[in-house]
Amino acid sequence: MCHKDSIPVIPFSKATGLDGFTNTLEGGVLIDLMSMNKIVEINTSDFNCTVEPGVTHETLNQQLHTTGLWFPGDPGADASVCGMAAMSASGTNAARYGTMVQNVLNLEVVLSNGDVLYTAGKDGRPRKSGAGYNLTKLFVGSKGTLGVITQAAVRLYARPAVCSVGICPFQTVNKAIEAVVATLQCSVPIAKIEFLDAATVAACNRYNKLTLVESPTLFVEFHGNSEAEVAEQASLVEEIFASNDGREFTWCHAPEEQKKIWASFHSAYYAILSEKNNVKGLRIHFSVPTSALAKAVAETRKDIDESGVFGAVVGHVGDGKFLCIFLVDELNHNEMKIIQELSDRIVKRALASGGSCTGEHGIGISKRKYLENECGEVAVNTMIAIKNALDPKWIMNPNELFPKN
Amino acid sequence: MCHKDSIPVIPFSKATGLDGFTNTLEGGVLIDLMSMNKIVEINTSDFNCTVEPGVTHETLNQQLHTTGLWFPGDPGADASVCGMAAMSASGTNAARYGTMVQNVLNLEVVLSNGDVLYTAGKDGRPRKSGAGYNLTKLFVGSKGTLGVITQAAVRLYARPAVCSVGICPFQTVNKAIEAVVATLQCSVPIAKIEFLDAATVAACNRYNKLTLVESPTLFVEFHGNSEAEVAEQASLVEEIFASNDGREFTWCHAPEEQKKIWASFHSAYYAILSEKNNVKGLRIHFSVPTSALAKAVAETRKDIDESGVFGAVVGHVGDGKFLCIFLVDELNHNEMKIIQELSDRIVKRALASGGSCTGEHGIGISKRKYLENECGEVAVNTMIAIKNALDPKWIMNPNELFPKN
């Protein structure tokens, strides 16, 4: 893990492909960690495991299969678990199981001076510690700018005994999101609650040969220790959805069928991408407080409709997050300008409601300009002071988060 | 909030009484923030609120009473919510609702240069953000060493519709803790699971005029949206406890009775203190991974018995934490030496099992010597680099966490 002083180092893991993590390369060294692919330890008594950067969440869950445990982090792509830690990933199961912020217990990090840091002590896995500063949470989401993550210890959960998946179409975007808000406010321990707008459902139908009703739709999943527990959650949510003009639920209990439904949800980006030729997909993530969700999603959908460009809205709405997907022809400057303006408007609305310009994957390069808007000048100065303290020569993924000094 | 350069500043809030937070005063300025006692905002739609340092969790919950929401943080004493954030407090409800690490959403902090920092942006309350470094989690548990917390925004929860409390005595310490481990490993969403050893139960009986069976005992609490949900959890735990030689449960459904039971649990320290005259109470907190809990607690109890000194063991075992309470006569040097050796042995055992020398209230002054043992030299150097970056003159609660340069 040695490197020459002052040569920029950009850690690369499979997750980094999600959001331009590697785009900052400026004559630096790109470290591909994917061949460090050991599952170092699975501790079934304490419900945790330690993995190297080459281990993706799907590989990990395959290895966990016989233990009765699982790792719920699932940002869609089959991302590296260490990469997900670096980018503070969230995903479909965050509503019930939390994001990487909650689920990372310890990180091994190579610092800019070559020292190897264990953020919670070598072999440390307490359920709770108050010893010194919480370095683990500082490094989660630091995107390789403070060091290269070479191992992550993460929390595992008991695989739920019973799991049920439902799909419910709604009359309007607004009603669908109001149903989400009501569900969150009733504290139903829902595992997944995901939103697709009508354009996305239509694209998914074509791409996956499905016959879903082409209107704003919620995909939900319930976990429990018993049929009765799941049935109770499901019946409460059916009631909430019905009172928000939700149409008939389609329920799905067979594991293979459930897998197919989530595969179609996760294919949404590719489904939309296949709607047009010779375009690139541009994804912009946001998050807002629950109370601002319905207005934010509905106004975003309206903005896109009025702009004349093609765009879809989907989201891990259970965690207050949503995502716009635009199909862009980078040579069409007029369209690019419209999309840039749209994106600015949507970000500003999210920030004005106490939200974040980035629900997933960290701030990246394209959203660096919003960092001060969201966090304030003092917070950015504080972050830069930490960056200077831990990486005085700015060799660790420079240009990510803040422009280089 | 102005202060003269280089005069040490020690923020004081009611929570700080818990663990010697104010003991570092060395010719510095003690800031008592208790008269900043406004509840700044209660946001019932987004389940959060913002409070100043003078607001304790009991005061907050009284104000929340009519909203149907509550703040579950409960470290025993009626601590300041901001103080609990500064000290990364945990408490009886942590097993289900998490600790301050999970529940603090944003902090207003006056930095050493007088700048006012909002760790998640001014008015920021996204359920999830990936914008820059996670300053909120860095300041939770920083014990005033990086700045003075002047406001905290925390997560609230729906008050459970149904709540049930049970008390179950066991034959041995080991069996009681094995029952806890089995309960955690079955992923029962238990709200509270607290351990008292026989000495503590006996002291509580005398102090509170109770008639509990004087053997190692677990106090448990279940929350749910329905009677059926709570009954299902309770019946599973009854089964687990019975298979670990648990005796008959005493159940308690009336809110007033439940309140009385928890008041007696929280009085354990004072109950033990009243067992002897002219002594001081010395509390030492630890946490260990679930799999190490039974051995750690049983061996700790055995060590105390063999030492000849009076000591009790209680714990928020649902979160892997436990606590030894010794009654010390500081003039009895022989006894003080025995307790110091005992304490060292217990801490080393916790660390050897991947645990923490401090389950609650941060590292304090007395445990500073264990910080490097637990976290490693590189981690301590990293923490000191952060301290230097944010408080170059070490005026913020100096001597806490690390010895002053």
* B122 in contact with chain A, both atoms CB, cutoff 8 A: yes
Among 3.90.550.10, 3.20.80.10, 3.30.465.10, 3.30.470.20, what is the CATH number of A2-158?
3.30.465.10
Question: Which residues, including other chains, have CB under 8 Å from residue A214's CB and lie 6 or more apart?
Answer: A198, A201, A202, A205
Contacts of A1 in chain B (CB under 8 A): none
CA distance to partner chain B, nearest, from residue A395 (Å): 17
Asked if B79 contacts B18 with a C-beta cutoff of 8 angstroms, the reply is yes
Read off the DSSP letter of residue B356: B
From first to last of its 405 residues, chain B has per-residue pLDDT tens of 333 344 555 555 444 433 323 333 345 678 888 889 999 999 998 899 999 999 999 999 999 999 989 999 988 788 899 999 998 888 888 888 989 999 999 999 999 999 999 999 887 766 666 778 999 999 999 988 999 999 999 999 989 999 999 999 999 999 999 999 889 888 888 999 999 999 999 999 999 999 999 999 999 999 988 898 899 899 999 999 999 999 999 999 899 999 999 999 889 989 999 998 888 888 888 888 888 888 888 899 899 999 988 899 998 888 888 889 999 888 999 988 998 898 889 888 888 888 887 766 655 566 777 888 888 999 999 999 999 999 999 989 887 787 665
Contacts of B128 in chain A (CB under 8 A): 90, 94, 99, 101, 287, 319-321, 356, 359-360
Asked if A91 contacts A73 with a C-beta cutoff of 8 angstroms, the reply is yes
Stretch A203-224: mean pLDDT? 94
* B137 in contact with chain A, both atoms CB, cutoff 8 A: yes
Contacts of A367 in chain B (CB under 8 A): 131
Q: Both tokens of residue B335?
A: 């006894």
Tell me the torsion sign for CA atoms B333, B339, B341, B343.
Answer: negative
A221 pLDDT exceeds 50? yes
Q: Both tokens of residue B354?
A: 């991947």
Look at the block and give the residue holding tokens 């003075």: B148
Contacts of B137 in chain A (CB under 8 A): 101, 134, 137-138
Which residue from B minimizes the CA distance to A116?
B378
Report the top-level CATH class of B162-353. Answer: alpha beta
* A231 in contact with chain B, both atoms CB, cutoff 8 A: no
**Cα gap B105→B107, rounded to integer Å:** 7
Contacts of A366 in chain B (CB under 8 A): none
CA distance to partner chain A, nearest, from residue B92 (Å): 13
* A1 in contact with chain B, both atoms CB, cutoff 8 A: no
pLDDT of B405 reads: 53
**Cα gap B45→B96, rounded to integer Å:** 21
Residue A126: pLDDT band (50, 70, 90) is: low
**Cα gap A173→A175, rounded to integer Å:** 6
Contacts of B146 in chain A (CB under 8 A): 133
CB-CB under 8 Å, B356 with A128? yes
CB-CB under 8 Å, B130 with A356? yes
* B114 in contact with chain A, both atoms CB, cutoff 8 A: no
* B43 in contact with chain A, both atoms CB, cutoff 8 A: yes
Domains in chain A: boundaries: 2-158, 162-353
**Cα gap B285→B87, rounded to integer Å:** 13
Beta bridge partners of B218: B168, B195
pLDDT of A239 reads: 95
H-assigned helices in A127-254? 135-139, 173-185, 198-208, 227-242
**Cα gap A290→A281, rounded to integer Å:** 27
Question: Which residues, including other chains, have CB under 8 Å from residue A76's CB and lie 6 or more apart?
Answer: A91, A92, A266, A269
More confident residue, B255 or A363: B255
A152, A233, A360, A397, B28 from A92: Cα distances, Å: 20, 18, 12, 28, 50
Question: Which residues, including other chains, have CB under 8 Å from residue B344's CB and lie 6 or more apart?
Answer: none
CB-CB under 8 Å, A289 with B46? yes
Which residue from A minimizes the CA distance to B321?
A128
- Residue B53 sits at the vertex; the CA angle it makes with B49 and B57, to the nearest 5 degrees, is 60
CB-CB under 8 Å, A319 with B128? yes
Minimum-distance CB partner of A319 among B127, B133, B374? B127
Contacts of B229 in chain A (CB under 8 A): 229, 232
pLDDT of A91 reads: 80
Q: What is the dihedral of CA B327, B332, B335, B336, to 10 degrees?
A: 80
Contacts of A356 in chain B (CB under 8 A): 124, 126, 128-131
Predicted ipTM of the assembly? 0.89
Asked if A250 contacts A167 with a C-beta cutoff of 8 angstroms, the reply is yes
Minimum-distance CB partner of B320 among A102, A126, A133? A126
Query: Mutation test of the interface with chain A: which of B18, B43, B109, B127, choosing the one with the most A Cβ atoms within 10 A?
Result: B127
**Cα gap B104→B117, rounded to integer Å:** 15
Contacts of B83 in chain A (CB under 8 A): none
Tell me the torsion sign for CA atoms B65, B68, B74, B80.
Answer: negative
**Cα gap B211→B115, rounded to integer Å:** 55
DSSP characters for B276-329? SSS-EEEEEEEE--HHHHHHHHHHHHHHHHHH-S-EEEEE-GGGTEEEEEEEE-
CB-CB under 8 Å, A185 with B128? no
As a residue count, chain A comes to 405
Q: Both tokens of residue B45?
A: 């739609």
The dihedrals phi and psi of A217, each to the nearest 5 degrees, come to -135, 145
DSSP characters for B140-201? TT-TTSS-EEEEEEEE-EEPPSEEEEEEEEBSSHHHHHHHHHHHHHTT---SEEEEE-HHHH
Contacts of B392 in chain A (CB under 8 A): none
Asked if A400 contacts A365 with a C-beta cutoff of 8 angstroms, the reply is yes
Q: Cβ-count burial of B398 within 10 angstroms (0-12 exposed, 13-18 middle, 19+ buried)?
A: buried
Minimum-distance CB partner of A158 among B99, B157, B187? B187
CB-CB under 8 Å, B229 with A232? yes
Minimum-distance CB partner of B389 among A128, A186, A386? A386
Radius of gyration of chain B (CA): 21
Nearest to B103 by CA among B38, B49, B44: B49
Per-window interface: A 44-103 vs B, CB < 8 A: 45-47, 87-88, 90, 94, 98-99, 101-102
Q: Determine the straight-line distance between the first and last CA of chain A, rounded to whole angstroms.
A: 25
pLDDT of B37 reads: 93
Q: Cβ-count burial of A34 within 10 angstroms (0-12 exposed, 13-18 middle, 19+ buried)?
A: middle
A129 pLDDT exceeds 80? no
**Cα gap A387→B231, rounded to integer Å:** 51
pLDDT of B319 reads: 81
Contacts of A235 in chain B (CB under 8 A): none
pLDDT of B9 reads: 57
CA distance to partner chain A, nearest, from residue B107 (Å): 11
Q: Determine the straight-line distance between the first and last CA of chain B, rounded to whole angstroms.
A: 25
Asked if B324 contacts B340 with a C-beta cutoff of 8 angstroms, the reply is no
Q: Is A129 helix (H, G, I), strand (E, B) or coil?
A: coil
AA identity, residue A144: G
CA distance to partner chain A, nearest, from residue B57 (Å): 20
Contacts of B90 in chain A (CB under 8 A): 128
**Cα gap B321→B312, rounded to integer Å:** 14
* A333 in contact with chain B, both atoms CB, cutoff 8 A: no
* A391 in contact with chain B, both atoms CB, cutoff 8 A: no
Which residue from A minimizes the CA distance to B102?
A102
A252, B44, B125, B161 from B157: Cα distances, Å: 30, 10, 15, 12
Minimum-distance CB partner of A379 among B117, B181, B188? B117
B317, B323, B344, B384 from B351: Cα distances, Å: 17, 15, 11, 21
A42 pLDDT exceeds 60? yes
**Cα gap B19→B21, rounded to integer Å:** 5
* B386 in contact with chain A, both atoms CB, cutoff 8 A: yes
Minimum-distance CB partner of B385 among A101, A120, A390? A390
Contacts of A188 in chain B (CB under 8 A): 225
Contacts of A137 in chain B (CB under 8 A): 101, 134, 137-138
Size of the A and B interface in Cβ pairs below 8 Å: 286
**Cα gap B280→B355, rounded to integer Å:** 27
CA distance to partner chain A, nearest, from residue B90 (Å): 8
Q: Residue B141 half-sphere exposure, CB side, CA atoms within 13 Å? A: 28
| Range A113-117 contact pairs with CB under 8 angstroms and sequence separation of 24 or more | A114/A1, A114/A2, A114/A3, A115/B378, A115/B381, A116/A1, A116/A150, A116/B378, A117/A147, A117/B376, A117/B378, A117/B379, A117/B382
Which residue from B minimizes the CA distance to A184?
B46
**Cα gap B37→B81, rounded to integer Å:** 11
Q: Both tokens of residue A172?
A: 């309007």
Look at the block and give the residue holding tokens 């692919």: A37
Residue A15: pLDDT band (50, 70, 90) is: very low
Stretch A282-303: mean pLDDT? 87
CB-CB under 8 Å, A228 with B232? yes
Minimum-distance CB partner of A134 among B125, B141, B359? B141
Which residue from B minimizes the CA distance to A108?
B379
